[in-house]
Structure 1
Amino acid sequence: MITVIVKLKLTLLRNGLRRSTWRTVALIIGMAYGLILVVGAWIGLVALRSAPGWLTADLTTVGFALLTVGWLMMSLLVFGSDETVDPARFALLPVPAKRLQPGLLLAGLLGTPGIATTLIALGTVAAWARGPLMIMAAVITVPIGVATCFLIARTATAAFSQALSSRRFRDFAAVAMALFGATIGLAINAITRATSDFSLAALRSLLERVSTALGWTPFGWAWSIPGELARGAVLVAVIKLVLAIALLAALWLGWRYFLTRSLTSPLESGGGSRRVAAGSGIDRLLPANAAGAIAGRSLRYWRRDPRYLAQISGICIAPLIIIVTQLISQDGGNKPLIAFAPVLISLLLGSVVTTDISYDGSALWTHISTGVRGAADRSGRAIASAVVLGPIVVIMTVAASIFSGTPQLLPQVLALVIGLGLIGLGVGCWAGSVWQVPVPPPGANPFQRGNSGGFANLASTGASIGLTAAIGLPTIGLVIASYWIGWLGYLAIGIGLISGLIALRVGIARGGARLDRTWPEVLARVSAQG
């Protein structure tokens, strides 16, 4: 079964790369970044071989514990789980989860993150090549640590995907994700304050405390074993080895439980079958035309689809982290930074509209078959995104202005929020017609990413932000100049509004015209996603 699943993984990956140029580009970029990380990590780990034992112990524990945390967080917030071999696809076969697990584990590690993590982890053997006992400890650590990285990410995404099928939990998750992002910001701010009086002794003390703390968490149990042996704490090393093996067993059983759930009750079968009343309140507020109908349908998706919930959370976390970390700073924080934090949401609006059409999947054919024009499609999706994210931006802008105590900066902030927001919508309307990034299929695991979809999303987001900022340079320039000539801030609002409306109109027109010419190709691409 292991060989069959691995061959299936490689075959699906190869076929997916043949169908999509973007997936090939994303894979090449991912492999390039992975190679750079592996080479850099190996240089550092080999250099640690000649470093003092305490330094090697602390750095490897902290570094690899954070790597494990990174697997968990990147799986939940960015990349998702690489479901090229989706367990739900085995639901109709008489294969229990117990038999699938080893093959899915090996297949999951064959991606760029898994290979890079394994190669980097092998570098610990070089770092601890200081005797037979230390080499043996490092060799034992590598498979336990790598397996923990994979299983903790896979179990978490499986658990969240099951929980997100509940509407109540989705509402709770949006708040929880934002709070978690703020918590990360608090931790970063605390570390920054602790190192403000930089000195070698203070840095060594901080590194030791962080290493000790992380070494006693599930993220650092396995990675800290060689360090404990280097310090002569054999009993502590044995205790951590037992804890690491117990954690691995618990994650393995937890993953099996969720695999069994996906095999017997796949998420795709959980689609809602409730009747939706026609002519709801939101429909009466929207234009009575094709664009309004598309906007109403998109708004229903925003409310019910867990994939959109994850997107909103990801967009809101970044400015929240900035605001919270600056507010809790002992010196009161950077007031202008707090005031301008909501601009990040406007910068990301383009990526939201860009990926919107990809979420339709094969159901896009019902849209195309009605003969709707591309411009109406672009307008409707832009309206829906503005209705959902517009109030969030307004509330966060007002709150940031109040908490920062800088009402004099409100004109400049509004100029960027309005101007870049409208430009972002226009960029997204055009970009969404040019490329369609890999996304989980409707109703599936909201954290699923197949065939390097995470890298394609990152590339798409980066391109959208860059193009939005480039078009918004006149507004940005006026905002900067307003620090010396105050009235330019009010002029920037007008320039931002005008340039934003022009960009939105051009984006809708050109994006719509391109869709009119390429609807069959777009349908083929979005149908092949996931």
Structure 2
Amino acid sequence: MVALLVGLKLTLLRNSLRRSVWRTVGLVLGAVYALGIVVAAYAGLVALRWTSTTVTTQVTVLAYAALTLGWLLLSLLVFGVDETVDPARFALLPVRARELVPGLLAAALVGVPGAATVLLALGLVVTWARTPALAVAALVAAVLGTLTCVLLARTATSAFAASLSSRRFRDLAAVLLAVVGAGLGVGINVLSRAAVDNLDDLAGVLDRLVAVASWTPFGWAWALPGDVARGAWAQAGLHLVLATALVAGLAVAWTHVLGRRLTEPGTGGSGSATVGRAAWVERLYPPDAAGAVAVRSLRYWRRDPRHLATLASALVTPLVLFVVLGMNPDGATRLTVFVPAVLALLIGTSAAQDLSFDGSAVWLHISTGVPGADDRRGRVLASLTVFGPLLVVMHLVVAAVSGAWSDLPGAVGLSAALTLGGLGVGSWVGALWQWPGPAPGENPFQRGSSGGLPALASAMTVLTGTFVAGLPALALVVLGVLVDPLYGWAALPVGLLTGLVLLRVGMVQGGRLLDRRWPEVLRAVSERAA
């Protein structure tokens, strides 16, 4: 079964690369980037061989515990998990979950992230191979640590996806994502400040951090070589037992989740919903094609776990920045008034991915003859309905906290330029690039092999275009802070004007592009790796 699933993963990967040059280029770029990280890490690991075992323990435990935590958080918040070999496709076959787990685990390591993690884990053996006992301990730690990374990410995303598919828990899950990301950023800020304030006791700070990390699930496996090097055999045995139990427990939990997917493969959520009277906010939209698109998009934002996960991810960065700036002295709190502009910078990416989230349901727009301009305008209206109130509340809160009311007009002007300009750029880019996203009700953290470079190119293009759109307002804001507050007041009309102009241009040009490309759009969003 292991060889079969790995071979299937390789076949699917090969076929997907043949279908699109984007995927080939994306895979090559990802492999080159990962190789650079691995080479740099090996250089450091080799250099550690000439340091003391104490320093080696400090560096390796902290770095590899961060690697394990990164697998979990990045899978939840950013990249998702690659489910090219989707377990739900085996639902009609006479195969049990426990028979699939070893093969799916091996298939998860086939790819750039998995291969890079394996190489980095083997680097632990390189740096600790000083005695036979240390080499064996490092090899065991590498195996257990790699299994922990993959199983932790797979189990967490599968469990979280199951929660998000429930109407009862998905709103709470989105909030938890934001809280976890914000807590991580604040924790890093606190630790860095503690290190700077205690440079004379840096070794002591590192020892305390290692002591904490080694007794968390993220560091149990990676602490083994350091325990053996110190001769702390009791701690080494306890860490070995804990790491092994963690891997076994995660395997059991993942098997349970897979078993449910094999017996309940349906995406759910269809057939039971009823359409009632429109909510008051939906009656604000115009009674035309654009208004209908806006209502449908708003319902997606309210009910679709993928949109909730996107919203939570977008809120993480400004929330972390707000807390970090508020904790730092020397006038940094004044800068918090501009924190909402970070959220405004990211809003355009939601417009760029909206068509991809629709999937094959976009055929409804084609079959009913919805003009591309109305599609673009309706999606912009829905995005403004979601993010507009959030931005208003954030601006009022941060102005009240920082007391920098004189900077509020400039901050609002900058956010207006970034929001409206970003939606304009996203409307055009979204009509140019599409990719197949997870279907409604499926794992919102799933990352198939089909997104790849188009999704990355879309996000980077939108962010770059949005930043350029905000440059006039940003220049006036900087002058308002450094020279005269009147420049900040000027940023308000300038930001609104530039944002509205770019929004209009983006919707018109994006609509024209859609009118020419509707068949290509349907093919792009409907494609699945097979």
Shorter-normalised TM range: over 0.9
Contact 2:414 2:495 in 1 (8 A): yes
Q: CA deviation at 1:28?
A: 2.2
Aligned to 2:35: 35
Number of residue equivalences: 528
Aligned-partner residue type, residue 73 of structure 1: L
Q: CA deviation at 1:273?
A: 2.6
2:145 matches 1:145:
yes
Q: CA deviation at 1:326?
A: 2.6
Which of the residues 332, 335, 338 maps onto 1:337? 335
Q: CA deviation at 1:454?
A: 6.4
Aligned-partner residue type, residue 350 of structure 1: G
1:300-319 correspondence runs (5 A): 300-319=299-318
Separation of aligned partners in 2, 1:478 and 1:246: 58
User: Relative to structure 2, which stretch is displaced further, 23-32 or 399-408?
Assistant: 23-32
Q: CA deviation at 1:529?
A: 5.0
1:324-363 correspondence runs (5 A): 324-329=323-328, 331=329, 334-363=332-361
Q: Against the structure 1 CA distance between its residues 285 and 270, is the aligned structure 2 distance closer, same or farther, given a 3 Å change threshold?
A: closer
Aligned to 1:377: 375
Aligned to 1:56: 56
Q: CA deviation at 1:96?
A: 0.5
Aligned to 2:388: 390
Q: CA deviation at 1:459?
A: 4.1
Aligned-partner residue type, residue 81 of structure 1: V
Aligned to 2:186: 186
Q: CA deviation at 1:272?
A: 5.3
Contact 2:344 2:418 in 1 (8 A): yes
Q: CA deviation at 1:341?
A: 0.8
Contact 2:22 2:453 in 1 (8 A): no
Contact 1:298 1:384 in 2 (8 A): yes
Aligned to 2:430: 432
Separation of aligned partners in 1, 2:487 and 2:70: 43
Separation of aligned partners in 2, 1:139 and 1:319: 41
Q: CA deviation at 1:21?
A: 3.6
1:115-134 correspondence runs (5 A): 115-134=115-134
Contact 1:162 1:267 in 2 (8 A): no
Separation of aligned partners in 2, 1:108 and 1:469: 36
Note the aligned Cα RMSD (angstroms): 1.6
Aligned to 2:88: 88
Contact 2:23 2:452 in 1 (8 A): no
**Residue aligned with 2:197, SS:** coil
- The CA deviation string for residues 248-304 of structure 1, in whole angstroms up to 9 with x for no partner, is 000000000000011111251343531111544333210111110000000011111
Separation of aligned partners in 2, 1:51 and 1:271: 61
1:447-462 correspondence runs (5 A): 447-451=445-449, 453=451, 457-462=455-460
Separation of aligned partners in 2, 1:149 and 1:402: 42
TM-score (norm 1): 0.97
- The CA deviation string for residues 137-191 of structure 1, in whole angstroms up to 9 with x for no partner, is 1111111110110000000001011111111201212222222222213212211
- The CA deviation string for residues 320-377 of structure 1, in whole angstroms up to 9 with x for no partner, is 1111223244x37612331111101111111110001000111111221101111111
2:404 matches 1:413:
no
Q: Against the structure 1 CA distance between its residues 280 and 406, is the aligned structure 2 distance closer, same or farther, given a 3 Å change threshold?
A: closer
Contact 2:221 2:239 in 1 (8 A): yes
Contact 1:71 1:149 in 2 (8 A): yes
Aligned-partner residue type, residue 242 of structure 1: V
Aligned-partner residue type, residue 341 of structure 2: V
Separation of aligned partners in 2, 1:354 and 1:272: 29
Aligned to 2:7: 7
Identity across the alignment (%): 51
Aligned to 1:164: 164
Aligned-partner residue type, residue 162 of structure 2: Q
Contact 1:419 1:500 in 2 (8 A): yes
2:268 matches 1:273:
no
Contact 2:292 2:378 in 1 (8 A): yes
2:332 matches 1:368:
no
* Alignment gaps of 5+ in structure 1: none
Contact 2:141 2:224 in 1 (8 A): yes
User: Relative to structure 2, which stretch is displaced further, 28-37 or 271-280?
Assistant: 271-280
1:161-310 correspondence runs (5 A): 161-197=161-197, 199=199, 201-271=200-270, 273-310=272-309
Aligned-partner residue type, residue 94 of structure 1: P
Q: Against the structure 1 CA distance between its residues 342 and 491, is the aligned structure 2 distance closer, same or farther, given a 3 Å change threshold?
A: same
Separation of aligned partners in 2, 1:154 and 1:422: 37
Which of the residues 383, 398, 401 maps onto 1:400? 398
* Alignment gaps of 5+ in structure 2: none
Aligned to 2:155: 155
Q: CA deviation at 1:395?
A: 0.6
